[in-house]
Structures are given as C-alpha cells and as structure tokens.
C-alpha cells in the first residue's frame, strides 16, 4: 500500500510541529512538506503533488479557503482537508462550495484526525461532528455577512484586500504577487468601488468584520 503523502500548512510553527508529530504516528502517512501560509502551501502542492493538504483556514498572505479553492482548481487530484478554530457557518459553507474534501475543528481529537485523514485519502469526505450537525440541521446558508459579502469580490480582489489589511503597500503587494504596481492599484481601485469603501481604514475594518484577517 502506498503511503498517504501529506502537505501540512499552519502559520503557527509550534502547532504545525505538534500536528506533524501526530501524523508521523500513522505509519502509512508520509510528510512531504510544511507551509506557513497559503501561498507556500500552493507552491508545495505544485511541487510535490501530495495526496492531501491538511491546512488551517486562518493564515497570513493567502488564507486557507482561498488556497483551497485554487488547489482544487489547479490540482484536482490533491484533496484538501481544512482545519478551523470555529464551526463558523460562513466558513463551512464556503469550504464545501469550493470543493474541500473535509473540515476538521481544532478541538478534534487525534483519533478524529486519524479518521479524517484516512477517509479523505480513500476519496471520501469528512466533517467534524459539530460541523456535520450544522449542515444536517441548519441547512441555512450564511445569511449574515461573512462569505456572502466576500463573494462580491473576485479571488484576486480578495487576495489583494487581505494583503492591504495586513499592512502591505501596493509596492510590497506587487513584489509578493509578482505583479506590476499598476495592476495592484487597479485591483485596489476596483474592489474599493465594489465595496463602496474609499479609505484604507475602512478596508481594514471590513476585512476584519468578514474574517479575512484578524486584528491580532
């Protein structure tokens, strides 16, 4: 039986190391890479084509949902298992919409992680019980702001917005995304118009409100 090749992404090194230690207990799991943000995760997936990406949602640079969306599009054979602090309905709904193979809460047990990883590796899906419960019962899509609001933006615009809210200048964003400063400015102008928010402070508050970034 071939080992399950896994890429792990979490911005907190200690948490990442801990989960890695748990995964290494499963003798059919092979760790092929670790990433500290969504962009690194994307690069590792492109390079190693793992079976599974186990990825936190809340990450700087490029968050887990956005990274998951792209991974699912670009490398459909790699299955994404998302980790999250909260059973936030907006997140769950969006995670399912973009083709994540599983959604595990951070208060899951090691045994549950075991089950989730192997289920996803077999091509099945896994949802933490609390999450599954919401899907079965609730069935009510977001309703609130969160994901719905963000849907008004294109993926590129969301990405730019996150980087702005994290304090990057247009020049820094251009460098990180390997774009022209002009392109970044255009995206910023477009998303400002679409959100009808016309200053940096407002963008930051909006990004925090919808959970794109944290106040830290």
Partner DNA sequence: ACGCTTATCGGGTGTTCACCCGATACCTCG
Partner DNA sequence: CGAGGTATCGGGTGAACACCCGATAAGCGT
The site for a second copy (CB under 8 A) is made up of: 11-15, 17-22, 25, 36, 83, 85-86, 88, 104-110, 112-113, 164-169, 199-206, 208-209, 213-216
- Return the number of the residue (22 or 179) whose C-beta is nearest DNA: 179
Q: Which of 21, 85, 97, 200 binds DNA (CB under 7 A)?
A: 200
Give me the sheet containing 29-35, strands edge to edge: 29-35, 4-9, 52-56, 79-84, 102-105, 126-127
What angle, rounded to 10 degrees, do the helices at 89-97 and 64-74 form? 10
- Return the number of the residue (28 or 107) whose C-beta is nearest a second copy: 107
- Return the number of the residue (46 or 107) whose C-beta is nearest a second copy: 107
Contact between residue 56 and residue 83 where contact means Cβ atoms under 8 Å apart? yes
Q: Which of 20, 36, 185, 205 binds DNA (CB under 7 A)?
A: 185
Contact between residue 10 and residue 37 where contact means Cβ atoms under 8 Å apart? no
Does the footprint of DNA cover residue 182 (CB under 7 A)? yes
Which parts of 34-145 fold into alpha helices (H)? 38-48, 64-74, 89-97, 110-121, 129-133
Q: Could you tell which of a second copy, DNA, none binds residue 59, using a CB distance below 5 to 8 A set by kind?
A: none
Q: Could you tell which of DNA, a second copy, none binds residue 144, using a CB distance below 5 to 8 A set by kind?
A: none
């Amino acid at each position: 039986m071939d080992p399950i090749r896994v890429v792990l992404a979490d911005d907190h090194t200690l948490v990442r190391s801990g989960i890695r230690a748990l995964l290494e207990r499963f003798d059919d799991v092979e760790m092929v890479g670790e990433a500290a943000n969504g962009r690194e995760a994307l690069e590792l997936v492109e390079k190693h084509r793992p079976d599974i990406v186990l990825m936190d949602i809340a990450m700087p640079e490029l968050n887990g949902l956005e990274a998951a969306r792209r991974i699912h599009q670009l490398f459909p054979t790699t299955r994404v298992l998302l980790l999250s602090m909260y059973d936030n309905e907006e997140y769950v709904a969006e995670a399912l919409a973009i083709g994540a193979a599983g959604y595990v809460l951070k208060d899951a047990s090691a045994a549950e992680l075991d089950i989730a990883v192997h289920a996803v590796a077999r091509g099945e899906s896994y949802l933490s019980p609390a999450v599954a419960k919401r899907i079965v019962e609730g069935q009510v899509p977001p309703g609130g702001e969160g994901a719905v609001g963000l849907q008004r933006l294109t993926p590129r615009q969301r990405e730019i917005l996150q980087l702005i809210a994290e304090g990057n200048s247009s020049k820094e964003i251009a460098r990180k995304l390997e774009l022209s400063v002009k392109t970044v400015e255009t995206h910023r102008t477009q998303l400002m118009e679409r959100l009808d928010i016309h200053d940096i402070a407002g963008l930051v508050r909006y990004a925090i409100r919808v959970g794109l970034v944290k106040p830290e």
